Amino acid sequence: MIRIVAGGKKNAGWAAEACAEYEKRLRKPYAVEWVFMEEPKLDEYLKRWPFSGYEFVICCDERGTNISSPEYSEKLEKAFLESREVVILIGGAYGFAPEVREKADLVWSFSKLVFPHALARVMVMEQTYRAQEIARGGRYHHE
């Protein structure tokens, strides 16, 4: 299972549609559960670092490491093999505090560009679906 904790308002319209399209294609262990929090609540939640160490925490932040789709797939597969729940953090307008980035297992940058969180949610969903297809040998991803 993948838990996605997203800051900001629950996306509506085009982003919700796009996320739902990818979400219905996902199968266990790639199935996702969404947790939406207003930015101040998300910041307070993460200050307490509610993760036990059994989770593989991915923090989406432009200051992170740029990885390929196959690398993302490998990281998810490794976490699943280790029986770790995957938690993906998508911040609000101001990103994450340095302490959050330091505690995450992976700080993942899509690029040096900054994206609105609604678009980041869609990108996470598409890449998660792509990772699933890479792992199962599907035809969605092309090398």
Annotated domain spans of the chain: 2-136
In whole angstroms, what is the distance from residue 141 CA to residue 79 CA?
21
pLDDT for residue 141 is more than 80: no
Q: What is the pLDDT of residue 12?
A: 65
Share of the chain above pLDDT 70, in %: 98
Q: Are 87 and 56 in contact (CB under 8 A)?
A: yes
CATH code for the part of the protein at 2-136: 3.40.1280.10
CA atoms in the 13 A half-sphere facing the CB of 116: 6
pLDDT in tens, 13-35: 898 899 999 999 999 999 999 99
Type of residue found at 95:
G
pLDDT in tens, 83-132: 999 999 998 777 889 999 999 999 999 998 888 888 999 999 999 999 99
CB atoms within 10 A of CB 122: 20
